[in-house]
Every structure is written in C-alpha cells, then in structure tokens.
C-alpha cells in the first residue's frame, strides 16, 4: 500500500480487543452447529458422533461452542442427549461450553450439566414469540427475570445471555422496526441479562441494517467485546439463507462486533425455506477473517476435517461452504499462523 493511501474503514475507534480467552485472536468464532444446526435436522446424529464432532471442532481451535439445547426430548429428540453432551464438552480444557434453554427448567438442567453460559431465546415480534415460545414477549421477559433471580441464588457463575430472535425481520410479521428491538434489549438489560444478542434467525438482514443495528445497540447498551467500557451487546448471529452471511458478518465487524456465531458446513436450514442453508458457514467465515489478517485461532484445514462426523452420521445432508470445495489459495498465510 502506498504511503499516501490509507484505508478509510479500519475498525471503529471504539473497536474492542479481547475479553474472553483471546490473547492472540482478533475475533472470536462461536460454533453453534451442534445446537442450531442439529436442531434443524430431522434425523438424530448419534451421540458418539456428536462428541467426536465437538472434539474435532475443539481440535481445530474453537474455544466457544454452543453444544446443545435443553428442551423437552419429545419436542426435539435430536437433542435428547443434551446433558451428556455438555458433560463431555466440559472435559476440553479452556472450552467455553454454551447451551440454549427456553425456560427456567432448561436453564437449571444446563447448569446442572455444567454449561458455562445459557442463551435464553426471546422474539422481537409477538407473532414469532407465540409461534416459537407459545407466550407473549412480556411473559418471556418476566421469565428471564425469574431465571436471573434463580441464577443469582443458585448458580452465580452461570452466564445468562438473552437472545433476540427475528431481530432483523420476521417470517411471520415481515419487517421489524428497530425501535421494537431496542425496547426489548433495554427490557432484557433491566431484567438482569449478562448479555443481549440479536439474531437474524431467518436470513433477512442486509449489511446496512446490520451496521445500523449494532451501532445503535453499542450506543445504548454497550459492546460486550469492548474491554475499555464493556457493555451488554453480545456477538453477531446471522444466517446465510439468502447468501449474505459473510457480508453481514463483515458489516458487523466494521462497526465493532468481535464475536460471531457460525455453523460448520452451514448446517441447519430454515423450515420455511426448503433448500436454503442455515447459519453462516464456519469454514468460509474463518477463511475470510484469517485472510484479512484477523486471527481467529482456528485452523481452516482442521475445520474441514471436522466435517467427517457429520458426513458419516448424516449421510445425504447438504454440507454447505465454498472453501472446503475450493481449498485454500496457493500461498495462503492465515493470520493465526503468523500470530502463533
């Protein structure tokens, strides 16, 4: 780069560095495939393969994995082994083990199994709240307050994350006013959530909207990944339903997001969009950041190898991701290799 030309888009001045175990990483990747991916697949990945998958993800360098969801087995038999999966994941040193739970009972089970953090889902729209949680938003907020109270009394080290679904658009309601998301974010902050995340559950987000959303969230409730003045807004959780996953992650990075949820092989999907993939693809996301010079601590080649348990246990299931097809470029010099 010539001396007179300076990129205009360096990380925002408030851009964060490390909070969690990130001595050498510029961004954190949180793998959500074992939860968000597997819950969307009708078949069940056998428990030994699930554990092998988590081990392979860990071996590739992942240090945050959302490993399961604590929901009634009759509703989601694919995740009936939730406690066993959490207990296994906890044996990996330095791994932050996350789980999802829609209610107090689930949070208690996650805590009992040893999860470090639990994401409690809420919805940005009443329609989605009814469809997904069978309760109005206000009741979900009230339950979050009860969950925090229980946590304070019984499991003080458990991190409670409140996740706002359909924050960028709802497949039932359609567009979602940003004011509605902000109102809910403030309510969740007041209810005592340790972090508040917004999710593009249905792949409706676009980069301009992503930037507006996080800039406003950081301004109003702060950025959990800002070490100088840490706040409540957690990482980005975007889906790749319309192919914008990486662009939306880039947009989020540009305004200061430093933690990103993604799913190996883009596993998952949206029941309302047959054939459309689910979460942003971990392999491509890691490749993007590493190629940009932003260390993730994750080895892309090892990540590709971590697809094996999925291919073995879910034959015929579409495995997304372009980097695994093409391989890394000739002379590829990932940031993590330089940092290591």
Neighbours of 86 (CB within 10 A): 24
Backbone angles phi, psi at 263, to 5 degrees: -130, 130
Count Cβ atoms within 10 A of the Cβ of residue 24 and give its class: 0-12 exposed, 13-18 middle, 19 or more buried. middle
Residue 240: CB minimum distance to its own copies, A = 7
Residue 307: CB minimum distance to its own copies, A = 14
Q: Which residues contact 24 (CB under 8 A, 6 or more apart)?
A: 295, 297, 336, 339, 340
Residue 255: CB minimum distance to its own copies, A = 7
Chain positions contacting its own copies, by CB under 8 A:
1-2, 4-9, 12, 169-175, 178, 182, 202-204, 206-209, 211-212, 215-216, 219-220, 240-244, 246-247, 249-251, 254-255, 270, 273-277, 281, 284, 287-288, 291-293, 321-323, 325-331, 333
Least Cα distance to 35 among 158, 150, 163, 145 occurs for 163
Contact 99, 81 (CB under 8 A): no
- Kindly tell me which of 69 and 323 has the beta carbon lying closer to its own copies: 323
- Kindly tell me which of 95 and 304 has the beta carbon lying closer to its own copies: 304
- Tell me if residue 270 is catalytic: yes
- Kindly tell me which of 28 and 277 has the beta carbon lying closer to its own copies: 277
Residue 7: CB minimum distance to its own copies, A = 5
> DSSP states of 138-204 as a string?
HHHHHHHHHHHHHHHHH-TT-EEEEEEETTT-BTTTBS--HHHHHHHHHHHHHTT-SEEEEEETTS-
* Long-range contacts (CB closer than 8 Å, 24 or more residues apart) made by 334-338: 334/290, 334/291, 334/295, 334/299, 334/300, 335/26, 335/289, 335/290, 335/291, 335/292, 335/293, 335/294, 335/295, 335/296, 336/24, 336/25, 336/61, 336/290, 336/295, 336/296, 336/297, 336/298, 336/299, 338/295
- Kindly tell me which of 76 and 247 has the beta carbon lying closer to its own copies: 247
- Kindly tell me which of 72 and 175 has the beta carbon lying closer to its own copies: 175
- Kindly tell me which of 92 and 178 has the beta carbon lying closer to its own copies: 178
Catalytic residues: 270
């Amino acid at each position: 780069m010539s001396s007179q030309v300076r990129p205009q888009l360096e990380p925002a001045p408030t851009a964060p560095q490390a909070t969690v175990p990130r001595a050498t990483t510029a961004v954190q990747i949180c793998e959500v495939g074992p939860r968000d991916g597997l819950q969307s697949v009708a078949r069940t990945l056998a428990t030994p393969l699930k554990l092998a998958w988590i081990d392979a993800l860990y071996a590739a360098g992942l240090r945050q994995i959302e490993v399961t969801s604590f929901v009634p087995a009759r509703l989601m038999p694919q995740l009936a082994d939730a406690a066993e999966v959490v207990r296994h994941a906890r044996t990996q040193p330095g791994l932050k083990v996350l789980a999802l739970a829609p209610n107090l009972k689930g949070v208690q089970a996650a805590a009992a199994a040893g999860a470090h953090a639990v994401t409690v889902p809420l919805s940005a729209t009443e329609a989605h709240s009814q469809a997904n949680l069978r309760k109005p938003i206000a009741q979900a907020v009230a339950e979050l307050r009860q969950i925090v109270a229980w946590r304070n009394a019984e499991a003080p080290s458990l991190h409670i994350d409140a996740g706002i679904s359909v924050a960028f658009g709802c497949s039932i309601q359609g567009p979602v006013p940003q004011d509605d998301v902000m109102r809910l974010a403030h309510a969740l902050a007041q209810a005592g959530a340790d972090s508040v995340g917004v999710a593009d559950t249905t792949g409706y987000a676009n980069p301009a909207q992503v930037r507006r959303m996080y800039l406003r969230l950081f301004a109003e409730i702060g950025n959990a990944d800002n070490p100088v003045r840490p706040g409540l807004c957690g990482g980005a959780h975007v889906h790749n339903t319309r192919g914008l996953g990486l662009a939306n992650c880039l947009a989020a990075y540009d305004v200061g997001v430093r933690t990103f949820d993604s799913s190996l092989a883009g596993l998952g999907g949206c029941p309302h969009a047959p054939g459309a993939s689910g979460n942003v693809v971990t392999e491509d996301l890691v490749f993007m950041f590493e190629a940009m010079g932003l260390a993730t601590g994750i080895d892309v080649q090892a990540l590709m190898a971590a697809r094996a348990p999925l291919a073995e246990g879910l034959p015929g299931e579409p495995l997304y991701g372009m980097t695994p097809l093409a391989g890394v470029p000739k002379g590829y010099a990932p940031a993590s290799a330089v940092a290591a």
